[in-house]
Structure formats: C-alpha cells, structure tokens
Structure 1
C-alpha cells in the first residue's frame, strides 16, 4: 500500500488540529481545545491505561505538530531515535541547498513530495514513526516548518529527560577542562533533578570572554560588551561638584 494511502486517515485529523476545528461535526462548541484534539490523536488506537502526555504545552503550527510527534514517539518507546532522525533531517536540509529548496517549494505536487520523502526515509532507515510523520508534513505542505517543529520537539524531549540547555559562545572552542568546570558551575546553579546539556558556539565578533545563555538568563562576559560599557562610562560627563 502506498505511503500516501496509509497516511490518509491521519491527514484530516492533523488538518483539524491546525485549524483548531472540532473532531465531530455534531459538536457545536467553536472553542474545542487543541489539547483535546491532541489527546484524541495520541490515544485513539491505544489502550486506555496508557496515556502519554506532553511535558510542556506548546501552541501554534509547529507546537501542535511537535506535540503530536512526541506523543506518537513516546507511545512507541522510540523517543530518542525519532529525535535523532528529525535532527538529522534538519541538518541535511542545512547542508543541501537543493533539498532545502525542495522542502520549501509549495509548487511541488503533494504526491511528489510524499514519494520523495518516503524514499529518503527508507534509504536513511528512519523509523515508521518518523517516516509517517514526515509524510503527513509533505502531504500537508508543512515540510517548510520542519526546523521550527524540530526545535519545539527538542523542547519536549529535553523536558522529558529533565535536561536544561546552556549555550556558551566563545571566540575559540573551550578546552575540555574549562568546559567541564563551566558545566559543573551551571549544574550547581540548577541543583539536583535536572542535567545541564552544554552547547558551544563560536563567534569571533565577541572579541573574547564568553556569553552564556541559560534558561531565560543571559550572562554576557564578552570583551565586546565590556568595551561598550567602558565606552559609555567614559562618555558620561564628570560631576566635579561631587569630587
């Protein structure tokens, strides 16, 4: 059976999720919640005793798709594998201008998109969860949102694993010992119960020092920022009356 044929039963449901429409035409309430649709999507074909839940409430197109993928991957006990596969696809789109253009081009017929994605997933040996999910995106013309969906999906998997992402920006890569020390410091800040996941970025424009983005906080200890602060200080008029 063709991939598009297997995906068809889920397609109308995902469309209704994105439009925030009721599952049943008999339901008259116009405010049927997206969260309820997601619960129906995730639990329609599973026993009542098993009800995976999203660890964070996400909204919008990317949030809805990411939540649906999370529930499906959790139910199949393939969360780590699906996460790796989705991130691999995003990375491939960044490295290949042709592939990037393909997933963004809405003029490509849906049937062509679905067939191409199916072949790519088969060649990459992706799980059926990922393959079917990407097929839905392709059929709905939503492949262009894959990077944002992946980011939102990563938020869910990190919350599930009790991980906190910290991004450290430096001019050159941190030596292993300094990276270990920084990670230990951040771990002390968040305490027990969650684990710091450190990501390094290189940006020569900061001139030196480092910038740490951690949760909702930004610790800017770069030479560039310090130089700007010093410049503002030197431009301030001196109050000789206070001397």
Structure 2
C-alpha cells in the first residue's frame, strides 16, 4: 500500500510530462534511439541479461519455457532478478505498478499512449520508480519498456514473471472457478486432492475465481489440465446426448 501511495503521488508529474511540448522533445540534439541504447547499455538489467545469455557464464536458467514478446521480457527479468537474489521484491514491485495502472486512469492512459515521445516516457518512469523506491533491477527494466513503447504490456509481463517465480519455488498454481467462494474446509480438501494428483515434487497454490455463469460445480485448471465439473458443462453434455438419434437395433 505504501508503494502504491508513492506511485499515485507521482502521477501529477506524469500529467505534466504528457503536456510537455512533444515537438520540442523530438528536436533535441540527442536522438531518442541513442538515449535508449545508452539506457540499456548502462543498466544493471542489461548487464545481467547479457551475462545470462553468454555461453561461457550461463548458469541460471528459466524454470519454464516462455514464448512471445512478453515471455522473452519476463524471462530476461527473471534471470536478472535471480542473480541479484531479488525475485520476491521485483515481483511485488511489478504488481504494485500494475495495480496503480488499474486505479489511475491518467497513468493507465500514459503507459498505453504510443504518441508520447520516448524521452518523456523514460523521464516519467524514472521519477515514478524513484518516488516508489523501486529496486534498480525493476527500475532499469521499466525504463527499457518505456523507451521501446512496451509499457502497455506490463500486466501480461508481470503475470508471466509470476509464473516463473512460482516455478522457481516449486509451486504450481491451480485456478478453481466456482459460483460462490469455497468454504475453508472444502478448499483444504481440494488442495490436498490436487497435491496427491501432482505428487510431492511441487506445492499446489490455489487461486479462487467466482463465475456465476457456470451455474454450479467446479472448474479446476492446473498445468495443462482442465477438469470441468460445472453444472453448465454437464447440462450441455446431457443436451447433446439427448439429441443424438437412438439406434433401435442396439436396444
């Protein structure tokens, strides 16, 4: 909450920067591309990323294979955070930023607006990170995203980063969807059942979701498996069964 408050307190600067003369910023003697290359080259994140991808010094590996742009960013940040022993801190800082973007329309618009010059985005993120007292790894990472116009993907990156941290800790998230929250005893029994299915290699971490549209029952997702025990799905299966023609010869 304290970090979120610091981020919100810095939003007036974002508003001010958004009103800065974009043409004047674009006409500065230092090209934006040079600024971004300099920011990336001098950042701790960049140095760690380069080390992590070097053939001679590659020791740390991502626990899950990530694909796509957000997966690549999350993997690179993971490698940097592991080397600095700052996984939990980086994860919490990303979540704080995501929550701040959800609560502030101004900040949300700022990270999505590609018309804002890169220099302004970088300056704003630098100030926000300083105000929130973010770690250098998180700050440098966000600066890179700001410079290349990728801040709009921060929520997706944060989710994929969380998947990596869970895998690092030997945890497996199971998403349980129900019409109403599960009572504590039922939640405990379900977790124990899933733990038996998965085995002792990983620890199950339950996440509950509420969705009245399933009518009742449960939908459990973990790993690549989905157990759909919802009343809605059962009703549809029964409906399809009743619509199938009856083969009198088999009666």
Same fold per superposition (TM over 0.5) = yes
Give distance in 2, aligned partners of 1:106 and 1:219. Answer: 41
What is the alpha-carbon distance in structure 2 between the residues aligned to residue 117 and residue 40 of structure 1?
Answer: 23
Pick the aligned partner of 2:205 from 197, 209, 217. Answer: 197
Q: Is contact 1:69–1:133 with CA below 8 Å preserved after alignment?
A: yes
**Which ranges of structure 1 fall in alignment gaps of 5 or more residues?**
18-36
Note if contact 2:214-2:232 (Cα within 8 Å) is conserved in structure 1: yes
> For residue 116 of structure 2, what is the aligned residue in structure 1?
108
Q: Which residue of 2 aligns with 1:219?
A: 227
Q: Could you report, residue by residue, the CA deviation over 1:191-236 in whole angstroms, capped at 9, with x for unpaired residues?
A: 1121011111110100111100111111000011111111112212
Change (3 A) 1:229 1:60: closer
Per the alignment, residue 11 of structure 1 pairs with 40
Q: Higher helix share goes to which structure?
A: 2
Q: CA deviation at 1:64?
A: 1.9
Unaligned runs of 5+ in 2: 1-31
Please name the residue that 2:16 is paired with: none
Secondary structure class of the residue paired with 1:73: helix
Tell me which residue corresponds to 2:4.
Answer: none
CA RMSD of aligned residues (A): 2.8
Q: 1:6 to 1:51 in 2, by over 3 A?
A: farther
Higher relative contact order (CA 8 A, sep 6+): 2
CA distance, structure 2, for counterparts of residue 238 and residue 11 of structure 1: 68
Q: Secondary structure at the match of 1:112?
A: helix
Equivalent position of 1:153 in the other structure: 161
- SS of residue paired to 2:92: helix
TM-score, normalization: structure 1? 0.79
Within 5 A, what are the aligned runs for 1:1-243? 8-9=37-38, 11=40, 40-42=50-52, 51-243=59-251
Distance 1:7 1:195, change over 3 A: farther
Q: Tell me if the contact between 1:206 and 1:224 (Cα under 8 Å) persists in the aligned partners.
A: yes
Question: For the structure 1 residues 13 and 228, does the alpha-carbon distance in structure 2 shift closer, same or farther, using more than 3 Å as the test?
Answer: farther
